[in-house]
Amino acid sequence: MVRSLISIEGLLFLAAPVFGNIGYPPIPEDLTTPFQVRLAVNGQNAVAIGWNTYKALNESCVTYGIAPDKLNSRSCSTSSTTYSTSRTWSNVAVMSGLKPASTYFYKIVSTNSSVEPFLSPRMSGDKTPFNMNVVADLGVYGKDGFKISKGDDIPYTQPEFNHTTIGHLAATLSDYEVVIHPGDFAYADDWYLKLPSVKEGQEAYQSILEQFYEQLAPITGHKLYMASPGNHEADCSEIRRLLELCPEGQENFTDFKHHFGKVMPQTFASSSSERFAQTQSEKARSFAKPPFWYSFEYGMVHVVMINTETDFPNAPDTQTGSARLESGPFGSKGEQLKFLDADLSSVDRRVTPWIIVAGHRPWYSTGSGHHCQSCQKAFEKLFFKYGVDLAVFGHVHNSQRLLPVFNGIADPRGMRNPKAPMYITCGGAGNIEGLLHIKHKPSYTKFAYAKDYSYSTLKFLDDKHLQIDFIRSSTGDVLDSSTLYKSHSVPFVTQ
Ligand SMILES: *[C@@H]1O[C@H](CO)[C@@H](O)[C@H](O)[C@H]1NC(C)=O
Ligand SMILES: *[C@@H]1O[C@H](CO)[C@@H](O)[C@H](O)[C@H]1NC(C)=O
Ligand SMILES: *[C@@H]1O[C@H](CO)[C@@H](O)[C@H](O)[C@H]1NC(C)=O
Ligand SMILES: *[C@@H]1O[C@H](CO)[C@@H](O)[C@H](O)[C@H]1NC(C)=O
């Protein structure tokens, strides 16, 4: 989300010379030590693993197997990448040939790494119930982040406190199999909220990234964690004047590309027996641009991750867009929308009955000024046409559940087999900017919450029932629970 910037800008230049002291994490003695470990679904039987090191690796390798003392498989890559302002290198390897939905163990090849467990992905078409968590706008904690001073009547929270969302996700690892995170990760571009000087901003930005991704590693190193971009990944700052000073490496989604680019999948080959689906899915694969837009399948779900920041007409984060973050494009003209059309049209509901689309900026939301109209114009018709079941967004810093809606009109069928997609916003996971008041609720709002940090759990019960829960991070209480019924009686939806 974007803060009101004018006063901050004034403050920054007044205070700039006084503050300083960037707290970088210590560099380990053993430079092969893996940090920021992250797993992602990479294909039907494959999991990609990414990690950062404080030196370049000639070879990035991982060993893995079905028991901690039987790490009989080994996979390597020669990809170890960095950029000008970074202290670390991003490494990646893909663990393939995995039996589906089985416990495995991995050890990143290093003189200072440990053996860790993970669950391999479910095959497309596996109708076993499972849970998928949704978080967005989840940022750094510690002395460079985390407060809830904004919104409702929440008292200021000491930054030293644990991040309740990260804490709760870590405490409940066995309750879910996958996490999707549509945008806004470290909030490194909010370094100016702690008022170091502009010169130190560059260091503060990198320090926040290192801290956040390491804080998230207890989750990302054990669970399949799927990412797509938000506005806070775009540039070194959201302040116009500072944008001109962004160093190379802190603009145009650079860190996001290095961190997730080779870890997110290139979209799966179709597992439908229909020729048409296979052709469309091949097309989608050729247009996919991970980590910006791509899809993956997991059990009974087809998930599409989209980019609401760049790469469609009047996208907000481009040179001419409303947020003016001077980023993109990452594909050729119209490529993202061609991808989305081909990808959604390829989904065979007999194999994966559910379609979830996740992006950062919503167009249905409480409050004013948080409706991405260019996003709506680009994406909503395609969602409806191909019968997307649930659309998931972030950006607005609270939790919201809306009834199925199309073109601003609630579907009269409600939660009983609607034609329109249902919408949720999961932007209340917690970050340095705090939570956002609930105001101006549209009539189709069923739940809106900004009193504490929260996130959502999607429970895929069977091919017709999806339970959507909102969880209060500090207590684990279920704040809201609803079930969407879809008959999924047509193999290929076009309406
Ligand atoms: C080994 O890794 C841990 C973090 O996992 C780090 O704290 C420690 O400093 C590393 N040891 C050396 C010798 O680098
Ligand atoms: C890594 O590559 C560099 C340059 O090619 C080489 O000098 C070095 O010996 C290699 N190190 C290892 C451990 O293979
Ligand atoms: C924060 O979490 C860690 C483990 O994740 C725990 O050891 C520590 O006690 C927690 N601190 C507070 C203040 O809750
Ligand atoms: C951003 O990066 C992409 C390639 O990843 C490039 O095509 C594009 O021109 C860059 N945009 C800007 C504004 O530098």
pLDDT attached to residue 24: 85
Residue 281: partners with Cβ closer than 8 Å, 6 or more residues away:
267, 268, 269, 270, 272, 342, 343, 346
- Compute the distance from residue 209 Cα to the ligand 1 centre, in Å: 19
| Residue 218 Cα: closest atom of ligand 3 | 5
- Testing ligand 4's pocket by substitution, the residue of 244, 250, 252, 336 carrying the most ligand atoms inside 8 A of its CB is 252
Protein residue with least CA distance to atom 10, ligand 4: 328
Quick check: bond before 421 cis, omega within 30?
Answer: no
Question: How far is it, in rounded angstroms, from Cα 291 to Cα 100?
Answer: 23
- Kindly give the pairing relationship between strand 130-134 and strand 454-460: antiparallel
Counting from 1 in the atom list of ligand 4, the atom nearest the Cα of 252 is: 1
Q: Which atom of ligand 4 is nearest to the CA of 257?
A: 5
Which domains, from first to last, does the chain contain? Answer: 125-485 (3.60.21.10)
What is the predicted pLDDT for the residue at 15? 34
Cα Rg of the chain, angstroms? 21
CA of 56 to the centre of ligand 2 (A): 10
Residues whose beta carbon lies within 6 Å of some atom of ligand 4:
252, 326-328, 330
pLDDT at residue 3, as a whole number: 47
Q: CA 264, 270, 274 angle in degrees (round to 5)?
A: 165
- Ligand number nearest to the C-alpha of 221: 1
Give me ligand 2 centre to Cα 54, in Å: 16
Per-residue pLDDT of the chain (495 residues; tens, 9 = 90+): 654 443 444 434 433 333 345 678 899 999 999 999 999 999 999 999 999 999 999 999 999 999 999 999 999 999 999 999 999 999 999 999 999 999 999 999 999 999 999 999 999 999 999 999 999 999 987 666 665 555 444 445 555 567 889 999 999 999 999 999 999 999 999 888 776 677 788 888 998 999 899 999 999 999 999 999 999 999 998 887 777 788 888 999 999 999 999 999 998 999 999 999 999 999 999 999 999 999 999 999 999 999 999 999 999 999 888 888 999 999 999 999 999 999 999 999 999 999 999 999 999 999 877 899 999 999 999 999 999 999 999 999 999 999 999 999 999 999 999 999 999 999 999 988 888 889 889 999 999 999 999 999 999 999 999 999 999 999 999 999 999 999 999 999 999
Minimum CA distance residue for ligand 3 atom 9: 162
User: Does residue 162 line the site of ligand 3, with CB under 6 A?
Assistant: yes
- For ligand 1, the distance from its centroid to the CA atom of residue 35, given in whole angstroms, is 10
pLDDT for the residue 145: 64
pLDDT at position 196, please? 63
- pLDDT of 238 reads 84
Which regions of 147-279 does DSSP assign to beta strands (E)? Answer: 178-182, 224-228
